[in-house]
Amino acid sequence: MRLTAGQPATRNELPLKAENDHPGWTDYIATDAQDATEGRIFVDVPTKKARQLQSSLTRLHKQNLISVPPAKGRHRRYEDFVLKREDARPVGDNGGYWVPEQDSDYFTVPASLFTNGWIHVLEDSELVLLLIAARMRGKHGDAPQPLASGPRKLHYGLSRDSFEAGHRVLDYLGILDVISDYQRSADGKVDGFSDRGAQPHLLRFHPEALDRPAFPAIIDTLAEQIAKSEGS
């Protein structure tokens, strides 16, 4: 684990697949996979997890976000990966990852996002929106910040539908405050748009909302929203 500011990433030393009493990356994956007992080949859950890890590392390698040693024989040694910069350019070379210095441009993510299981229950678009709001809070404090459609699509790849669905769920969970244009109706249309345009949504991140265990929180919240919709 690299915790010192300015320290470079080193080669991964943890095996992808846990074996007996030796920990591995497969210990940190939550999945509903079950042992495959049908047919002539038995595949256990740890093996399925290891395949999922290798698929993810292959994608990260193609995106130039990790370095993987050249293949020896038929297969690359993905367990020897080294992290690269996460703000890589779309094309060209990418340098190795360094833990940011205190005066660097970075933001922090609450550890509870991982330790309380939120990373496993939130959809991709919801996680992207959470990280956007966390960055805004790191730069601007608790004041609500606008997220205009242009930067939302260009810098974060969030479509309108993904944004709408994502912010509603995070708002229900109390993770985000979402303040919309007072002229905007429930269907997203803005009164007087041709005259004044529309003001972007304002977002405010509440990191303390992640201090709850994720699974019961999201089950209770969704059940509450379903009950409201059925009663309306």
pLDDT tens profile 170-179 = 999 999 998 8
Asked if residue 202 has pLDDT above 60, the reply is: yes
Are residues 80 and 128 both part of a single domain?
Answer: no
Are residues 91 and 131 both part of a single domain?
Answer: no
Asked if residue 232 has pLDDT above 80, the reply is: no
Are residues 122 and 222 both part of a single domain?
Answer: yes
The total domain count for the chain is 2
Are residues 95 and 116 both part of a single domain?
Answer: no
Whether the pTM exceeds 0.75: the reply is no
Condensed to tens digits (0 to 9), the pLDDT of residues 88-128 reads 666 777 888 888 877 777 888 999 999 999 998 999 999 99
Are residues 134 and 191 both part of a single domain?
Answer: yes
Q: How confident is the model at residue 34 (pLDDT cuts 50, 70, 90)?
A: confident
CATH number where 196 lies:
1.10.10
Condensed to tens digits (0 to 9), the pLDDT of residues 117-171 reads 999 899 999 999 999 999 999 999 999 998 888 888 888 888 888 888 889 999 9
Are residues 120 and 190 both part of a single domain?
Answer: yes
> 105, 133, 158: which is the final residue of a domain?
105
> 105, 120, 136: which is the final residue of a domain?
105
Are residues 60 and 166 both part of a single domain?
Answer: no
Instruction: Work out the average pLDDT over 197-201.
Output: 68
Torsion of CA 20, 21, 23, 26, to 10 degrees: 30
Are residues 118 and 220 both part of a single domain?
Answer: yes
Range of the domain at 55: 1-105
Are residues 149 and 224 both part of a single domain?
Answer: yes
CA distances from 210 to 46, 111, 123, 179, 206 (A): 29, 9, 15, 20, 8
Q: Tell the burial category of 210 from Cβ atoms under 10 Å away from its Cβ (0-12, 13-18, 19+).
A: buried
